[in-house]
Structure 1
């Protein structure tokens, strides 16, 4: 690391001499729209360098450059990026005038070809309406993180990304285990389609174009979604221009990452496009025994034979090999001070534990335009999850002596050996109709979708736990101090089937599970499917826009799936949605919305009732939201502010049962009220920013336990925020350099145990960039002040600390 920084310093010191000895030239000109009007705020960028400028009120620009050949990119929101190659000579001004074409988003009503817009800001989204709608004109909050933000932060997994989104908090290290506006999330989408969310390891991000979150219930379009919001991952799509990049990253925790991104046309007519993303990571962790590796293979192809038809195929293969991290245990106690009784690196487990996961999904999408006003869209996604697990984990209890007194340094343990698969099929079809009636313009969506999730026959577990009985021939699930005669004892302590884990003197050696008394069990197969029809109208009249929609959903859970007494249990729900957008002046729009949510909680969605409990009533929710969306700095900075109230009934939480750590229970009603502020984009051509702040009161308002009423929901901070800024130097000795600064904040959070709270934290991050020709050098410094903090937690034996100070260094090459 010392030699790397020294080389950068020596190289930068040589730049002033070069700048003084070489006279500059410049390029200048005017940027116009297809109808000949000049464009204010269009961006002019030198490709592969950090030089850029924007057009002034007259639509003109000028950019000074050293002599040489450059590829110049001209871009503006709503238009396709244009490029020209120019040779700059010393002392000469070269005129480059450009007329931009309308963006391809206006030609597609499903995201098939890739996004050419770059930077921290994204203008158009399909998530909120299933049509290419400006986020500014969508009557609901759409938050997002672009690939440029991910690259600048060297974000490599989902939790690295969502910390940039307001109102989102991590609950654990598990995949898609997040709190959105106070509600725990359980569903996620890929390109607007449901995939399996049963995995543990977080997804890697090299194939991701951006991550979007539609805040509040989205059931009117996407069936059974979470009330706090729905995370939608948009994959990178092929582009009709050649772009290729390679990146290598290394750093703390013995991390090694390599990624490749290749895209472009496959024929001269550019009717067949491809994209290939590859990534490999081998990394350790600040957490004990949490080393592992992961790989991603993600090809994508688009076939665009003419302006009327587009077909896309995506495949993502992701394999993770590591161990399941159940969190940090601490000494048994009743006060939060004991958070520090064990180091944050402390974990349970054995060396021979493993967690091997395969996530595989493929998507085929079709768009056909019958005319300029009628189009048809169809997508089919197939998702598979395959798990091979062995773990030594806590039973969520501390050991007891013969009298039943807790021993705070000994954890009761169990082992789990599990083989599991599940499959998700998702079909989405809809017609998009555009027409006018007088002064009113209409865009009508009429669609049908079907979602099916299946746990097939053959999933099974091989578990050991509990205590040895007096004869040593069997086990008893928990220790009952009123009947000590039923148990074996050693040194005054009942003998467990799986040895205790000593928090004061941990043993991570290999442990052969066959020496325990194990129970082999077949997991209960399950299957559910959803059929839904929906209608949506986007009505526009002058400065007013209205969104009206509804969904009629038919949910079927197949009880006793694969058995002779299999039967269907059906539910149905009518789910409305209404929204209003008013734009008094072009840079500002005001909006209001009312949406409802519906989410079954059956064996097919929750899991085996023998493990998780049930049957449970469905989640019923609704949200009222209002706010403003604004453009600043010539549409380069986008700001959203919103206020909301969400009500949800029939919430599930952990029952904290002694004999079943996975048992769930319903607690009645929860309400979430809050405000959010978000900003994305550029303040200056060389100064980018993404930031947010959220204030959220998420409380239990109805429960069969009166003591729970009024409590802030678990892992839901009242206040949280994020800020990330990047500044590029464009002149003088520091030309080509950039710096990044950021911070993350969360206030105190409750856990499932009312005696344990997670303290507030501020974490600061920084980065240094240097771009030369086609190379990009980057160093990221995370948790600069080495703060000790926890991103989430459930109880005294399942806490999830954040990483201490760490550094990542990256080198990328674009060709």
Structure 2
């Protein structure tokens, strides 16, 4: 017993030493959590070794004390709206960046994008599922609202220079992608992933857009008929769960005045009802004679989140535009591009173009389980056009012998009213499942879209030359005695007797704009251009994204039915249907954490335009357009995911494209080209180099030519497709001083270039290449930002596109915009 008590102090001492040693080996583990914009995240759940939990404070800081020393600790970060992140830490400090969650992206993006900057992480456009862009086996380019703001972009034409392989075709909502033309007048554009159209003539404002995306190559396997070059998707701004409000005022060259407002936030304390309202007003003139634009955009959006598994969204965009339609610049007959001022237009002072466009979207996303989700969306688009215009007749006026007068452009006048509509409904299921080590992301869906032009649309056309017997007709020198003649006095005083036009010709050597009297013209109802029409597209599609280790496969297909109701709204109505199957195969392999390689094969299909098919003067009916794409490339991420660098090579073949035959006396005559081929390389770099330095770079080489033809057009083989430059590129960068006396001061600079282009299949008419330099200065003080943008700094004369030398579309000379914005 005595021995036991004698050993007790030693035992207590040993226990004390053990406790001391143990106490000395406990550490504190801490760090900060931020988003990709370097903003601290509050209330992030942080789980240490699956047992201890902490939350980040308002500075994004978390801390665990009394952590036993071990080889490494496991920390898991979870936060609503962000991807879960789990990492191991061997020391006492771990700072992390959380990426936005892609799980909330559905057919229509219901939740707002939380990223800021030029980089976008994910999109549904490539797969109709929540897939990071690096895992989509197809090239997708995008421009975010931040880049639009920094460049003071107002319309799509201001944006497209940032996309590799995309080029303007005209002033209108009309572009080429990889050498293939698309325009807003057809339902091959997407709004939040749903088929829609714009008015074609005027490019809509972009103030209500979160970003603009281009999926390169045919997207037909998911969205129905589409251009083989690519499809544009406009993503609208969505409500956010936090209060944000901003106002901006802009003034600049050409008497430009613009006001924008953007308000968003929750409508209730539970944040289950969110709203967003974008408003834009613009009143501007142009460097082009008599041209102006007055635009009003109202874009409300409401999100309803009744449960964590159900989301409902309502969006609307209303655009009212009052302007004149600018058909472009004309130069002297067989003259050079500089023979007339780029400011000269052929409009009359009483011309007008009044347009109204609306889109209304309703969408539902319900998550039945962590694996199964249902998506339902409906989009209605309506457009109203009220037009009076004086424009070229696509020819020069003639003398008594029928020869062109070099400085006198023949004109015609249109009076047109129409109101087409489209409807698009889409429903699909997504299901995620794992079979052993193989994961599947399944999509099964159906969509139905219609496009209608109801009775009531009409067009009156005045053209040709006056007849003595009354009326008007194309001039025939052999029957000159049948026509009215008048004495024309040239600018140099020379007089000549020439046929009198129905609509006065325009002397492009002088400013001949004046008030015209359309009541004196002889009009012909040209209703073939606006006959009632109805067409529908329906499709059933299946898709499986298969994951196995570093390998991802995409296998999909769509069975599509296209129906055109000929002689719509008459007793002779007849439905004509066409069917096709569109496969899509893709592969992505993760070489490293930062580098993915991919390959893609897909087919596309496009029925010919209804107006052309039903026009008896076009030479139709014509076979549908078919296409196929082979593409491969790299998708990489650097600088902790803040910067992406992608490259792609592609080969596209399209058959049965229609071109204007340029047949004298029949401007509606079309010819069908046997085959076109486009092949090229594209490079894109986008993102943030440092916290205060943003960058975007794009380059494309595109060889788009006529590769096969019939007997009538064999001379066209090897001809470069219109408005498809072989080389083009863009760079833009912005740097903001982070500290010191000049804190908040930023500068932006960039340039874009385009090489020579044909304006038609007539290779004697081409547009020169050009390089444009742009710059900007920014200064932010608290909640106020001052911004001045300088465009075309070197005052370069250039043309963005054209149809021929009578319809050329020059770019703006040197100009500036100054903006003051306030956020609160």
- Shorter chain as denominator, the TM-score bin is 0.7 to 0.9
**Aligned partners of 2:320 and 2:609: how far apart in 1?**
29
* Counterpart residue number, 1:745: 753
Deviation track 1:568-591 (CA, whole Å, cap 9, x = no partner) reads 001000000000000021100000
- Distance 1:602-1:748 versus aligned 2 partners, 3 A rule: closer
1:225-244 to 2 correspondences below 5 Å? 225-244=226-245
Q: CA separation in 1, counterparts of 2:477 and 2:60?
A: 75
Q: Any conservation in 2 of the 1:534–1:550 contact (CA below 8 Å)?
A: yes
1:420-459 residue pairs with structure 2 within 5 A?
420-459=418-457
Counterpart for residue 483 of structure 1: 479
CA 1:807–1:42 in 2, change beyond 3 Å: closer, same or farther? Answer: closer
Per-residue deviation at 1:538?
0.3
Using the TM superposition, give the Cα deviation of residue 270 of structure 1 relative to its aligned residue in structure 2, in angstroms: 0.6
The question of whether the paired residues in 2 share the 8 Å contact of 1:457 and 1:525 is answered with yes
Secondary structure of 1:288's counterpart equals: coil
Q: Deviation of residue 102 (structure 1)?
A: 6.8
Once the two structures are TM-superposed, the CA of residue 29 in structure 1 deviates from its matched residue by 7.3
State the shift of 1:620 in Å.
Answer: 0.1
The counterpart of 1:726, out of the listed 728, 734, 739, is 734
State how far apart, in whole Å, the 2-side matches of 1:342 and 1:435 are: 65
User: Aligned in 2, Cα 1:237/1:154: closer, same or farther, shift over 3 Å?
Assistant: same
Q: CA deviation at 1:99?
A: 7.7
- Alpha-carbon distance in structure 1 between the residues aligned to 2:189 and 2:344: 30
**Partner SS for 1:771:** strand
What do the CA deviations read for 1:575-613 (whole angstroms, capped 9, x no partner)?
000000000211000000001000001426x57514655
Does residue 710 of structure 1 match 2:711? no
**Secondary structure of 1:483's partner?**
helix
Q: What is the rounded CA distance, in whole Å, between the counterparts of 1:290 and 1:614 in structure 2? A: 36
Tell me by how many angstroms 1:786 deviates: 0.4
Identify the residue that residue 762 of structure 1 maps to in structure 2.
771
Provide closer, same or farther for how the CA distance between residues 728 and 101 of structure 1 changes in structure 2, counting only shifts above 3 A.
Answer: closer
Q: Which residue of 2 aligns with 1:286?
A: 287
- Alignment match, 1:12: none
Report matched runs for 1:402-801 at 5 Å.
402-471=400-469, 473-476=470-473, 478-491=474-487, 492-522=497-527, 523-603=530-610, 606=612, 608-610=614-616, 612-703=618-709, 704-752=712-760, 753-801=762-810
* Residues 629/298 of structure 1: CA separation in 2 closer, same or farther (3 Å cut): same
Deviates more, 1:487-496 or 1:127-136: 487-496
Q: Establish whether residue 143 from structure 1 lines up as the match of residue 141 from structure 2.
A: yes
Bigger RCO (CA 8 Å, 6+ sep): 1
SS of the equivalent of 1:725 reads strand
Distance in 2 (CA, whole Å) between partners of 1:655 and 1:678 is: 37
The answer for the alignment partner of 1:44 in structure 2 is 38
Secondary structure (helix, strand or coil) at the match of 2:741 reads helix
The verdict on how the C-alpha distance between 1:154 and 1:515 changes in structure 2, with shifts beyond 3 A counting, is same
Residue among 176, 179, 203 paired with 2:176: 179
Q: Which moved more, 1:104-113 or 1:257-266?
A: 104-113
Q: CA deviation at 1:161?
A: 1.1
Question: Could you tell me how far apart the structure 2 residues matched to 1:118 and 1:78 are?
Answer: 21
> Which one of 388, 391, 399 corresponds to residue 390 of structure 1?
388
Q: Distance in 1 between matches of 2:98 and 2:733?
A: 31
Given that residues 36 and 115 in structure 2 are in contact (C-alpha distance below 8 angstroms), is that contact kept between their aligned partners in structure 1? no
> Residue deviations 1:618-673, cap 9 Å, x none?
11000000000011112111011000000000111222233343443212210000
DSSP-derived class of the 2:126 partner: coil
> Does 1:106 find its partner at 2:103?
yes
Residue 488 of structure 1, CA deviation: 1.9
Alpha-carbon distance in 1 for matches of 2:452, 2:747: 48
Moved more, 345-354 or 489-498: 489-498
How many Å separate the matches in 2 of 1:193 and 1:263? 23
Cα drift, residue 155 of structure 1: 0.4
CA apart distance, 1:521: 4.5
> 5 Å matches for 1:92-241?
103-110=100-107, 111-175=109-173, 177-186=174-183, 187-241=188-242
Does the Cα contact within 8 Å between 2:104 and 2:130 map onto a contact in 1?
A: no
In structure 1, the partner of 2:303 is: 302
> Is the deviation greater in 651-660 or in 98-107?
98-107
Measured at CA, do residues 29 and 655 of structure 1 come closer, stay the same or move farther in structure 2, by a change above 3 Å? Answer: farther
| Whole-angstrom distance in 1 between the partners of 2:716 and 2:59 | 61
Q: Structure 2: which 5+ residue stretches go unaligned?
A: 1-28, 42-56, 62-76, 83-91, 488-496
- Matches of residues 349-364 of structure 1 in structure 2 within 5 Å? 349-364=347-362
What is the distance in 2 between the residues matched to 1:613 and 1:528? 21
CA shift in 2, pair 1:654/1:796, >3 Å:
same
CA contact (8 A) 1:78 1:102 kept: no
- How far the C-alpha of 1:101 sits from its partner, in A, is 6.7
- Residue matched to 1:62: none
Alpha-carbon distance in 2 for matches of 1:729, 1:489? 70
2:337 is matched with 339
The answer as to whether partners of 1:557 and 1:602 remain within 8 angstroms in 2 is: no
What secondary structure is seen at the aligned counterpart in 2 of 1:339?
Answer: coil
Choose 511-520 or 480-489, whichever is displaced more. Answer: 480-489
Deviation sequence 1:88-118 (CA, Å, 0-9, x none): xxxxxxx999887774432443411110011
CA deviation after TM superposition for structure 1 residue 702, in Å: 1.6
Q: Which residue of 1 aligns with 2:494?
A: none
Instruction: For residues 284-341 of structure 1, give each alpha carbon's deviation from its aligned partner in whole angstroms, at most 9, with x where no partner exists.
Output: 11111111200100000000111110000000000110011111111110x6xx1000
| Contact 1:44/1:73, CA 8 A, preserved across alignment | no
Partner Cα distance (1:308, 1:457) in 2: 44
Please report how far the alpha carbon of residue 732 of structure 1 lies from its aligned counterpart in structure 2 after TM superposition: 1.9
Q: CA RMSD of the aligned region, Å?
A: 2.2
SS in 2 for 1:151: helix
Corresponding residue number in structure 2 for 1:86: none
Structure 2: how far apart are the matches of 1:387 and 1:133?
A: 39
What residue in structure 1 maps to residue 490 of structure 2? none
Match of 1:23 in 2: none
Three-state SS of the structure 2 residue aligned to 1:150 is: helix
Partners in 2 of 1:213 and 1:79 — Cα distance? 30
Instruction: Call closer, same or farther: CA 1:437–1:136 in 2, change over 3 Å.
Output: same
1:686 deviation in Å? 1.1
- TM-score, with structure 1 as normaliser: 0.88
The 3 A distance-change label for structure 1 pair 542 and 390 is same
Residue 514 (structure 1) shift: 0.7
Which sections of structure 1, spanning at least 5 residues, go unmatched?
1-27, 33-38, 48-69, 83-94
Quote how far apart the aligned CAs of 1:706 are: 1.8
For the pair 1:803 / 2:812, whether they are aligned, the reply is yes
CA distance in 2: counterparts of 1:278 and 1:611, whole angstroms: 44
The change in CA–CA distance for 1:620 and 1:667 in structure 2 (over 3 A counts) is same
Deviation at 1:520, TM superposition (A): 3.1
**1:468 Cα deviation from its structure 2 partner:** 1.0
Give the CA deviation at 1:381.
0.3
Which has the greater radius of gyration?
Answer: 2
Distance 1:96 1:280 in 2: 50
